[in-house]
């Protein structure tokens, strides 16, 4: 089964980098990209991704609120991983509060971290 991924980040360079990570990770494919929290909610409803890679700081509604809305609309069918430049100790608790499955600092986001986070949160391990 291929994991369908929606990338959400307001910075195009990071969206491109995240796309490259997903593209080189076996079993994952990008199905869409969004720049704002509002767009992420709409696209998640339309595209029905398995996984949303969500930036915390977004124009409009932030990634925490967008995560809450996506999960409220998508139920158990979608997993959200928060990504940001902030330290893990600071944002991991906030990820749990909004319903995100995990928090990954952008500095360590790569194929290995994507695979291990997905295995951990999806039960695919």
Q: What would the pLDDT profile of 35-91 be if each residue is shown by its tens digit?
A: 999 999 999 999 999 999 999 999 889 999 999 999 999 767 899 999 988 766 776
pLDDT score of 75: 65
Looking at the chain, the whole-number percentage of residues with pLDDT higher than 70 is 94
15 pLDDT tier (thresholds 50, 70, 90)? very high
Number of structural domains (the chain) is 1
Q: Any idea what the Cα angle at residue 16 is, between residues 11 and 17, rounded to 5°?
A: 100
Residues of the domain holding 90: 3-122
The DSSP 8-state label assigned to residue 2 in this structure reads P
Q: What is the CATH number of the domain that holds 66?
A: 3.40.50.2300
Pair 10, 59: CB distance under 8 Å: yes
């Amino acid at each position: 089964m291929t994991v369908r991924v929606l990338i959400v980040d307001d910075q195009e360079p990071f969206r491109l980098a995240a796309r490259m990570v997903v593209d080189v990770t076996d079993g994952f494919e990008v199905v869409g990209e969004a720049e704002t929290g509002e767009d992420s909610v709409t696209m998640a409803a339309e595209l029905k991704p398995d996984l949303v890679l969500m930036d915390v700081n977004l124009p409009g509604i932030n990634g925490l609120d967008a995560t809450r809305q996506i999960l409220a609309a998508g139920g158990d069918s979608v997993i959200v991983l928060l990504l940001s430049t902030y330290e893990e100790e600071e944002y991991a608790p906030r990820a749990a509060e909004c319903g995100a499955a995990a928090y990954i600092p952008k500095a360590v986001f790569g194929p290995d971290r994507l695979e291990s986070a997905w295995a951990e949160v999806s039960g695919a391990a």
